[in-house]
Chains A and B, each alone.
Chain A
Amino acid sequence: MDVEPISARIQWRGAAARAAFRVGVTDIAPAIPATVAWGLVTGVAMAQSSLDLPQAYGLSILAYAGAAQLAALPLLTAHAPLVVTVLTALIANLRFVIYSAALKSEFAMLPFPRRLGLAYLMGDVPFVIYSRQSPQFDRTLRPVYFLGLGLCNIVIWHLGSFAGLIAAGRVPAEWGLDFAGMVALIALLVPLLATRAALAASAVGGAAAIALDSLPAHAGLVVATLAGIVAAFLAEHLSGRGR
């Protein structure tokens, strides 16, 4: 095995690593109520589908992807062709490719199993918080910081999801619990909007997403995100930089 220098210096143990892990848990803690609510909504939807209980738990644990699960559920229930169901889930998951590309160089020094493990813990909330907060950590501490964010998020989401599977019909849809997840994303967005480029990213991403809303399985989300990224890039390069 070739042990690269930087890979040997990555800290998983010791006081500094424990502290970084704890900061990860603390940073994601304010989102816990919303994550529970979002998991709950997903769990309830799965309990009310045609899946039996082992299938519902299996889907939740293996896929760990709220939006993809919700998009695939009606197709599973209708016994749609396998390709259609999996393709729908793929499209709903496609935004994670963008996240994965954004964090690629952060974890490139880790061995493959650890990269795969950290990648699996990726979610909207951990990604956004990590992007914002990780620069304050030394590169050798960032993986364990991400681990703190990601582990806390997955545990909380599954608690909510299992609660939803068990509670099933006893959580009325009128409570609008799915809106809690949306409010958490709004709260994550607001501090990002400090620059003109970030404002352009959000505004163009949002407008494009509205225009593309009729596409199935959130396909428009990926295109809209790319449009937002390009807009931000242009805004930054056309406004500042001495011209």
Chain B
Amino acid sequence: MTAQSITWIAIVGIALTTVLTRGSFVAFAARLRLHPLVEEALRFAPAAVLGAIVVPALCLRHGRVDFSPSNAHLVAGVFAALVMWRTRSMIWAIVAGMGTATLLRLYA
């Protein structure tokens, strides 16, 4: 087999992981009964997953926790969160976050 066809097989394999994970319960196991407590706990999936994505992205720099003001992503992210909290506008939050990150990159 050529390297190219192996790459294509890998691409199809990656696509299958997308279908299997997203479809797991919605498509393939829709009749499966989950325990009511599990269903109840899953209501907190959005807050849990967003925390698990966002907190390390802001607090880790080069693999270490960095709470100093020189951590541009932390400063920009916290500012974006404050703007979101006050305005409830995602557009303003993105403008604030990206603006702060850009200014810190250029001038700090």
Contact = CB atoms under 8 A, between A and B. Distances in A.
Nearest to A69: B14
Contacts, number: 286
B70 interface: no
Interface in B59-108: 59-60, 63, 65, 73, 76-77, 80-81, 84-85, 88-91, 93-94, 97-98, 101-102, 105
Contact of A183 (B12, B48, B98): B98
B41 to A, nearest CB: 4
Contacts of A122: 22, 26
Interface string A190-222: 111100011101111111111001100000110
A33 interface: yes
A205 B49 contact: yes
B51 A201 contact: yes
A205 B80 contact: no
Secondary structure dominating the interface of A: helix
Contact of A229 (B6, B23, B41): B41
A107 B30 contact: yes
A87 B38 CA distance: 26
A119 B30 CA distance: 11
A97 B21 contact: yes
Interface residues of B, number: 73
A208 B49 CA distance: 11
A118 interface: yes
B51 to A, nearest CB: 3
Contact of B14 (A72, A204, A225, A229): A72
Interface stretch (A9-17, A18-26, A54-62, A159-167): A54-62
A47 interface: no
B50 A188 contact: yes
A108 B47 contact: no
Contacts of B15: 59, 62-63
Q: Which of A86, A187, A207: most chain B Cβ within 10 A?
A: A187
A209 B46 contact: no
Contacts of A186: 54, 58, 77, 80-81, 84, 93, 97
Interface string B30-53: 111010011111111111111111
Contacts of B12: 62
Interface of B: 3-4, 6-27, 29-32, 34, 37-60, 63, 65, 73, 76-77, 80-81, 84-85, 88-91, 93-94, 97-98, 101-102, 105
Interface of A: 30-31, 33-34, 51-52, 55, 58-59, 62-65, 68-69, 72, 76, 79, 82, 85-86, 89-90, 93-105, 107-108, 112, 115-116, 118-120, 122, 124, 127-128, 131-132, 174, 176, 179-180, 182-193, 197-199, 201-210, 213-214, 220-221, 224-233
